[in-house]
Amino acid sequence: MSDSSCISIGLLLFPALTQLDLTGPYEVLARAPNTKVHLIWKSLNLVVSDRGMAIQPTTTFETCPDLDVICVPGGPGQIYLMDDEEVLSFIRTQSKQAKLVTSVCTGSLVLGAAGLLDGYKATTHWASLDQLALLGAEPVNERVVRDRNRITGAGVTSGIDFALNVVSEMYGSDIAQNIQLHMEYDPAPPFTSGSPRTACEEQIKIAKEQIAPFIEKRRRATLKAAAKLKK
């Protein structure tokens, strides 16, 4: 590990990310003992999420220490990361020594674009799950997927479940359960529409129609990244 007394965890912070992809895991991971969580971007300027929340990076690519865990969140801005060699190179470099290489939501597509999911089982948001196969991964329709040292979370809210799994891996299940209790993470949603597995057909149809143009834009970016991997 980067420091025998402190685990170093890095969350990539980038423009137009979905803030809960980052802040959900951050809330869990920052509660872990002897842990330093870094919010990483190219500069220390405020980064604005897809819904307008401004978040302050704590370190840059140049000053970031070696990470024990690297995590890439998702969101619309993920499309541009897949063609950003500075970002992909940083992720590859940090992943060489990291104990866990992880993502939430469509951050897994960025890991795939970096060549880090070839031959691995992985998940992402349900609307883009099939795109993982284009990058050499095996798509798995589960909330959290572990394959060797890769841990990927599905869409947005799964980031909390994902992070509890990471804490359990790094510190043991007792500490993860303690954090879950302190957070009162005891979800009881008012509806059963949170997944295509439980939502009604009409809700699924509406949701797919709403996001179809963007999903096609994302698919084009994934195909472009996949073509680069084959060169």
Residues that are catalytic: 105
**Which is nearest to 91 in space by CA: 75, 115, 74?**
115
**Which is nearest to 47 in space by CA: 28, 75, 9?**
75
Query: What are 60's strand-pairing partners?
Result: 41
**Which is nearest to 133 in space by CA: 19, 229, 20, 35?**
229
Between the CA atoms of 9, 125, 119 and 22, what dihedral angle is there, to the nearest 10 degrees? -10
Q: Which helix (H) or strand (E) holds 8?
A: strand 7-12
